[in-house]
Amino acid sequence: MMRHFFLFLSKQKGLRRWMETSPLSHKFTRRFVAGETLDDALAVCARLEREKIWTTLDHLGENVTSLDEASQSRDDYLAALAELGGHPATVSLKLTQFGLDFSTDGCYENVRQLALKAREIGTHLEIDMESSAYTDRTLDVATRIAGEFPGTRAVIQAYLRRSAADIERMNQIKMPVRLCKGAYDEPASVAFAEKREVDQSYVELMKTLLDRGTYPAIATHDERIVGEAFRYVRERKIAPEQFEFQMLYGVRRDLQQRIVDLGYRLRLYVPYGTAWYPYFMRRLAERPANVVFLVRNLFRK
């Protein structure tokens, strides 16, 4: 119930404008967002790197309203990539930030320029997955990019009923996958509604990826599932270099530390920028108790 409420709020444009321009903005976001600027994000990446944690940078923004804005997003990401050479960092991007709502080909061209820059500095792109209205178009663009730039990662959401088939396809073309549960409000016709079903789907897909995927990323903070991953890779003798865990900046730092201490690879998703509202509301939707942290932050000096 609360989840749906926060996901409903995430789409309210007036509230978004008000929150993102509020002088209290930093107090709302500091738990989950590295800061407003690229420099803020790079400082967080450098600190994490010292703690043996890799990163993927996300310049916040989605559903841009013109192709000019999409070009601006591309330039912002090019600026970020220019700073990442030599670091164990990738970039994560949402295709609606690059014009997917207007032109699939225009979006593809923007993303291709980023892929060229990523290759030049020795890293790759991770292409986030948005709501189910975009799944086919996102996978089309992602697989076209991966055809030219191997290592490009797609995201598959375990809550979607179609995902087992998508994972088979990704495994066949040897495309790396990030497996997450899924963060959007979806109808029961396309997505499992019960947490139990989503978790079961996640574990099944995770095992398929660990057995037959190409350098998969297990993206979850679910302690039970992370424990099952530890058990499965030990049983199957899958080496720690063959996959990585991924988590969100600011979520379950205790579990992050445990993964690193056990010698597994961990990459954190580090968002930055001023367009933080939809990302932030999805984090509240995942755990409404985060509102308590939010209120505490507001009163902290």
Ligand X SMILES: Cc1cc2nc3c(=O)[nH]c(=O)nc-3n(C[C@H](O)[C@H](O)[C@H](O)COP(=O)(O)OP(=O)(O)OC[C@H]3O[C@@H](n4cnc5c(N)ncnc54)[C@H](O)[C@@H]3O)c2cc1C
Q: Does 16 help bind ligand X (rule: CB under 6 A)?
A: no
How many Cα atoms occupy the beta-carbon half-sphere of 17 within 13 Å?
Answer: 2
Instruction: Give yes or no: 178 in active site.
Output: yes
Nearer to ligand X, 151 or 182 (CB): 182
CB distance 37 to 251 below 8 Å: no
Backbone angles phi, psi at 269, to 5 degrees: -85, 115
Q: Which of 222, 244, 266, 275 binds ligand X (CB under 6 A)?
A: 222
Nearer to ligand X, 137 or 301 (CB): 137
Instruction: Give yes or no: 128 in active site.
Output: yes
Q: What residues contact 132, with CB distance under 8 A and at least 6 apart?
A: 160, 184, 186, 190, 191
Nearer to ligand X, 237 or 289 (CB): 289
Backbone angles phi, psi at 267, to 5 degrees: -120, 130
Binding mask 146-185 for ligand X (x = CB under 6 A): ---------x-x--------------------x-xxxxx-
- Give the count of residues interacting with ligand X (CB under 6 A): 24
Residue 52 three-state SS: coil
Q: Does 129 help bind ligand X (rule: CB under 6 A)?
A: yes
What count of other Cβ atoms lies within 10 Å of the Cβ of residue 86? Answer: 9
CA 50 distance to own-chain centroid: 22
Q: Which amino acid is at 233?
A: V
Q: Does 218 help bind ligand X (rule: CB under 6 A)?
A: no
Binding mask 268-297 for ligand X (x = CB under 6 A): -x-------------x--xx--x-------
| Vertex 29: Cα angle to 27 and 34 (nearest 5) | 115
User: Would you say how long the chain is, in residues?
Assistant: 301
Binding mask 244-263 for ligand X (x = CB under 6 A): --xxx--xx-----------
183: DSSP letter:
-
Residue among 58, 101, 128, 222 flagged as catalytic:
128
Nearer to ligand X, 284 or 301 (CB): 284
**Min CB(290)–ligand X separation in Å:** 5
Query: Which residues lie near ligand X (CB under 6 A)?
Result: 128-129, 155, 157, 178, 180-184, 219-222, 246-248, 251-252, 269, 283, 286-287, 290
